[in-house]
Amino acid sequence: MRIGVPKEIKNHEYRVGLTPDSVHEVVAHGHEVLVESSAGHGIGVLDADYVAAGARIVESAAQVFEQAEMIVKVKEPQAVERKMLRPDHLLFTYLHLAPDPEQTKDLVESGAVCIAYETVRDGNNRLPLLAPMSQVAGRLSIQAGASALQKANGGKGVLLGGVPGVQPAKVVVIGGGVVGAHAIEMALGLGADVTVLDRNVDVLSRLSEQFGSRLKTVFSSRAALSEQVCSADLVVGAVLVAGAEAPKLVSCEHISQMQAGSVVVDVAIDQGGCFATSKATTHTDPTYEVDGVVHYCVANMPGAVPRTSTYALNNVTLPYVLALADNGYKAALQADHGFMQGLNVYKGQVTVAEVAETLGYDFVAPEVALKA
């Protein structure tokens, strides 16, 4: 199979779909890899490194899309990239379709086969291709929040860990999954006063065992969420419903009741955000204020640390890339039910129920679509 790796073009997105090490593995399996010139520069990888790994360098994204059978990316294809998709293309990347009707429409009309990292599941029903970026985003959420709390950045001028004799910042994490756990670890490490909210008692028990008495665990009732959010210095939204738009758990009223200079970091923004006041921002212009509350809603947070993120992502995506290339997408998906759940759009059909329901498409089960 001929696999293409275009340079990412989303705002300040420096990650790349395949590293030279991954290219070496793919080529060793008998496949061809085309890499757009300078695609790896953002992670410190030169074109010569890709050539040494066995890739062929092409000068433009248009050449990648024209010649490749499978396109391996990191972020969802931008409008100019979607125009280059064809019915014979296999696209493998993050998509986050539920809050993105324009992208969904373009992918449906392209006729391409589109598999999304974020909805692939493993044998334990976990999200293995989302996990490493969730780990990065969870840790970054605390760094970003701590920076935004500084007075010069619009915050109330609170040091996350405080100092002896001065109370630390109160950090509230909504959601105790992978993002939440890593945010908690970072916040506790900096000495913050940390509370996590979740509606799953088993999750709260696990986090309590992991972090001990340093962490406050609270069942996420409406009253508890309101109390905790409105009194927080920093709130991290770490809620995920795989494939679906994130629920709006924090209302405009909650935001209006927070102290001026408080900060919210919405890690769920790729799926539409879990704060009613959230709107996607970029690394160039990452924050804005609503009712005096600083909002950090960057839609590709892990792109801020592209080298770490790219290598972490490739560690988990490479086996799936090889399965697709070695066996073809039909055989690869049919052999692995969890992988099958990664199929989001198939030749003009929407194959994720949550996306179809949210955006008004007819749903076709991926197994049915492939057999047809």
Residues annotated as catalytic (active site), given as ranges: 96, 270
Structure tokens at 239: 């809620």
DSSP 194-214: EEEEES-HHHHHHHHHHHGGG
Burial class (CB in 10 A: 0-12, 13-18, 19+), 315: middle
> What gap in Å lies between CA 53 and CA 218, rounded to an integer?
50
Query: Is the CA virtual torsion 203, 277, 221, 233 positive or negative?
Result: positive
> What gap in Å lies between CA 339 and CA 121, rounded to an integer?
6
Task: Tally DSSP H helices, then E strands, for the chain.
Answer: 15, 15
Residue 265: phi, psi to the nearest 5?
Answer: -120, 115
| Contact between residue 341 and residue 121 where contact means Cβ atoms under 8 Å apart | yes
Residue 203: phi, psi to the nearest 5?
Answer: -65, -45
> What gap in Å lies between CA 366 and CA 121, rounded to an integer?
14
| Contact between residue 287 and residue 266 where contact means Cβ atoms under 8 Å apart | no
